[in-house]
Amino acid sequence: MAASSSPAPSGHLHYYQEHGISPVRYGIETLAAHFDRRDSLYRSLGLPPAAFRGVRVLEVAPGSGQNSLYVAACRPQSFDLVEPNPAGRRDIEAAYAGLDCDHTVPALHPVRFEDFEAEAPFDIVLCENWLGSLPTEVALIRKLASLVAPGGALVLTAVPLAGFFPNVMRKLLALRLVDDSLDFDDKTELLTDVFGPHLATIAKMTRSHRDWVHDCMLNPHYLNVALPLETVVDAIGDQMEALATFPRFTADWRWFKGLTGEERGFNALTLTSYRENAHNLVDYRRTFPPRRAEENAPVVAASHTLHQTAIRWQTAAEAGDTGALPAISEEIGASLSKIGDSLGDFDPGLVDAIEELSAVWSKDTLTASSVREMTSFASLFGRETIYVSFTRPHTPTC
C-alpha cells in the first residue's frame, strides 16, 4: 500500500522532547506478572527464553525500558538499547536501578537509530511500536533487518488499517475538540476527561489514560504510525522470512518435507492469512472464523481511504485552511458509511457504533460531552497492534 504523506515529518521524537515526556510507561502490578506477559508474547513469536540466553540482542526505541527488563533477565551475552529521548532514558535508568535479579546490564546508546552504527550484527533485534509507513521509516525497517545476523530474528509491530480506524476517528475528534488557545496541560485534561469513559471499557489496559492521550491524541505524528503488514513484507521480504505473529492467525498444514527453499513461502502464507482475518482486526472483543480475502477487501479499502483522508484533514487544519475542511469532512463521513456497510455482513452489532460515530462527526459544532457520552462507539477499539517475528534464513553447512 502507498505510504502516506506526513502531517508531522519530524516524528514522535521532536514532540516528546518538546514536552519532556515519554508517555509509554506500563502500570506493572508485579514484576512477575509483567515478565509472564512478555514471556508469553516472545514464546508466541517463536522466541523462548533460551533464544535470548548468551546471544547478542539489540532493542531500538525501548521507551520506558520496562519491556527490556525481561530480555535482560534472560541473560543475553550483550544487550544494546538505542533510545534518543532523554525522558525515556531516565525511565530506563530508573527501571534498571530497581531490577533486583540476575541480569545482563544493557549498553544504553543516547542516539537516534538513524545515527546508530553497530560494530557487528545481532542475533535478535527488537523494535516495538515505533515505525510506520513513511518512506523514511520504511528505510529504517530495512536498516533493522540489515542488522540481524544470519540465523537471527527480528521482532516488529505492524498497525493494520482495519484495526486502526476507531482510533483514527478518535484522533480526528480530538483535533476538532482541542482549541489552540489551550496549553498542553489543559489539552491533556480535556482529552483525558473526554476519552476516559472510552478507555475505561478496556479491561487490561496497562498504560495510564494520560500517557495514552499524550502518545495518541496529542501526538501530531500519531496518524503516521499506520503500518500494514504488506508494507513490512515488501520492505524486508527479500531478506527475511516470517516466523510467527501475535495474535496468531496462520495455520500451515503442509508436509514439512515439502518446505525447502522458495517453496516455504512463509511470507506469502502469512499475508494470505492476514487478509483472510482482516475482519478480526476491527473489534478487539470479537473473533470470527477466517473468510475469503476478497470478502474482507471492502473494509480494508474503506479503512485505508479513511486514513488517507484523515491525514488530509489534519494537514488542512494545521495549515489553517478551514475552507477545505467541510469537503474533507464529508469524505470522512462517506468512508464511515462504507466501513459501516462492509461491517454489516459479518458484525451487524457494530453498525450502531458506526452510525453513532457518523452522527457525532457530522455535527457542525462538536462538544466534549457528545464524544464523552457516546454509548456504542465508546467501547470499539481495533486490534491495532500486530506483533510479527522474522528470521534471516541460514542453514548450517558442513
Q: Which is nearer to ligand SAM, 199 or 300 (CB)?
A: 199
- Does residue 110 have a cis bond before it (omega within 30 degrees)? no
Q: Which is nearer to ligand SAM, 40 or 367 (CB)?
A: 40
Compute the least distance from the CB of residue 264 to ligand SAM, in Å.
30
The grid cell for 123 is 542475533
Compute the least distance from the CB of residue 56 to ligand SAM, in Å.
19
CA 56, CA 49: separation in Å to the nearest integer? Answer: 13
Compute the least distance from the CB of residue 85 to ligand SAM, in Å.
3
Compute the least distance from the CB of residue 114 to ligand SAM, in Å.
6
Q: Which is nearer to ligand SAM, 129 or 239 (CB)?
A: 129
Compute the least distance from the CB of residue 65 to ligand SAM, in Å.
9
CA 261, CA 116: separation in Å to the nearest integer? Answer: 33
Strand 386-391 relative to strand 148-158, pairing: antiparallel
- Cα distances (angstroms) measured from residue 396 to each of 151, 242, 265, 307: 9, 19, 20, 44
CA 235, CA 218: separation in Å to the nearest integer? Answer: 29
Q: Which is nearer to ligand SAM, 109 or 275 (CB)?
A: 109
Compute the least distance from the CB of residue 306 to ligand SAM, in Å.
22
Which residues does 10 contact at the CB level (< 8 Å), separation at least 6?
A: 221
Compute the least distance from the CB of residue 66 to ligand SAM, in Å.
7
Q: Which is nearer to ligand SAM, 82 or 233 (CB)?
A: 82
Q: Which is nearer to ligand SAM, 154 or 378 (CB)?
A: 154
Which residues does 153 contact at the CB level (< 8 Å), separation at least 6?
A: 46, 47, 51, 123, 124, 125, 243, 389, 390, 391, 392
Side-chain-facing half-sphere of 298: CA atoms under 13 Å:
14
Compute the least distance from the CB of residue 83 to ligand SAM, in Å.
6
Compute the least distance from the CB of residue 237 to ligand SAM, in Å.
23
The kind and range of the H/E element at 127 are strand 122-127
On the 0-12 / 13-18 / 19+ scale of CB atoms within 10 A, 46 is middle
- Cα distances (angstroms) measured from residue 272 to each of 251, 269, 332: 11, 5, 28
Which residues does 214 contact at the CB level (< 8 Å), separation at least 6?
A: 19, 21, 23, 188
Contact 167, 382 (CB under 8 A): yes
Positions touching ligand SAM (CB under 6 A) are: 11-13, 16, 22, 24, 60-63, 82-85, 88, 112-114, 128-130, 215
Give the distance, in angstroms, between the CA of residue 366 and the centroid of all CA atoms in the same chain.
28
Among all chains, which residue has been given the C-alpha cell 509507513? 133
Q: Which is nearer to ligand SAM, 215 or 276 (CB)?
A: 215
CA 306, CA 363: separation in Å to the nearest integer? Answer: 18
Task: Using CB positions, name the residue nearest to ligand SAM.
Answer: 63
Compute the least distance from the CB of residue 210 to ligand SAM, in Å.
15
Q: Which is nearer to ligand SAM, 225 or 229 (CB)?
A: 225
Q: Which is nearer to ligand SAM, 158 or 350 (CB)?
A: 158
Which residues does 87 contact at the CB level (< 8 Å), separation at least 6?
A: 16, 17, 20, 21, 22
Contact 354, 344 (CB under 8 A): no
Q: Which is nearer to ligand SAM, 108 or 271 (CB)?
A: 108
